[in-house]
Structure 1
Amino acid sequence: MNFDLSSLRQKFRERDYKLTPQRQIILQVFIDNRGKHLSAEDVHNIVRQQSSDIGLATVYRTLELLSELDVLQKMDFGDGRSRYELNENTSPHHHHHLICLTCGKVIEFADDLLEDLENMIAKNSNFTIIDHQVKFYGYCQECRNKSEV
């Protein structure tokens, strides 16, 4: 997906929304933190450094809107907090995630090892699969190193 302001403004206009300065600041957080999976609280902590007048409720509303517009991808890692990242995926399948149970770090990997399995399931069940998600839970290298000390 292209994240230049003119194409984003057009996308907002098509849905009768405005790309307000607050929305631009929140979007810039994701552009500056590509590859990170940020919660609303993470985003709020970052934007407060630039613009203390943006409240947490504004962040939540903006994240939901950007998710509806497919600018952001919303994910649930089972920790009670939605996480968001830029929706830069041009392929039909998303990347997968490794989630540390100690520190909550999320690491992406793009190997799609399930493609053959997905094709077999689709064929055997006469079901059109449009996507899948894989999440592995465990312990990152840093947390394992800390526990060994």
Structure 2
Amino acid sequence: MTATILQRCEAQGLRLTAPRRIVAEVLEEASDHPDVETIHARAAARDASISLATVYRTVNLFEELGILERREFGDGRARWEDAERDHHDHLIDVQTGEVIEFVDPEIEALQEKIAARLGFELKGHRLELFAVRRRRPETES
């Protein structure tokens, strides 16, 4: 990643109001994939005057500017992550909603191979695996 969310906002000439700055900081610090309500809770903990509507407008603006990416993990809530994070794929536990990021060189190579076989040069992809945890085998006594 070359610049922070705040730096990319400034580079695009975006007027950074105090609420926008706080939302950007919350997103910069996020290690998960927060939805708007989670972002709002984190932002409101810093400044109680930040409204949910302001957070919605801010994340949508950041998405339009290419600063954030919207993710849909099948639970009906849009989640957000930095658009300039290093490439990774997602495994979503459909029972708990936990999102696990991973990178697998074999999957990456296979996707390139498939694109080439079909006559294409791969420019990007998104891979989201939806799964449930396997039951652990009971230990024998």
Please state which band the TM-score falls in when normalised by the shorter chain.
0.7 to 0.9
CA deviations on 1:39-79 (whole Å, 9 max, x unpaired) are 00110111121212211111111111112222222211111
**Structure 2, unaligned runs of 5 or more:** none
| 2:20 is aligned with 1:19 | no
Q: Secondary structure at the match of 2:130?
A: strand
1:130 corresponds to = 123
| 2:97 is aligned with 1:118 | no
- Label 1:81 to 1:44 Cα distance change in 2 as closer, same or farther (>3 A): same
CA deviations on 1:61-118 (whole Å, 9 max, x unpaired) are 111111222222221111111111123335xxx3011211222111111224323322
- Whole-angstrom distance in 1 between the partners of 2:5 and 2:78: 25
Q: Secondary structure at the match of 2:85?
A: coil
Residue 8 of structure 1: how far off its partner (Å): 3.2
**1:97-112 correspondence runs (5 A):** 97-112=90-105
| 2:79 is aligned with 1:86 | no
Q: CA RMSD in A?
A: 2.4
Q: Secondary structure at the match of 2:54?
A: helix
- The size of the alignment, in residue pairs, is 136
* Paired AA for residue 89 in structure 2: H
| 2:35 is aligned with 1:42 | no
**Structure 1, unaligned runs of 5 or more:** none
Matching residue within 52, 56, 69 for 1:60? 56
- Whole-angstrom distance in 1 between the partners of 2:65 and 2:42: 22
- Whole-angstrom distance in 1 between the partners of 2:46 and 2:103: 33
**Stretches (4+) displaced over 4 A:** 4-7
- Label 1:53 to 1:97 Cα distance change in 2 as closer, same or farther (>3 A): same
Q: Secondary structure at the match of 2:66?
A: coil
Q: TM-score, normalised by structure 2?
A: 0.81
Residue 138 of structure 1: how far off its partner (Å): 2.4
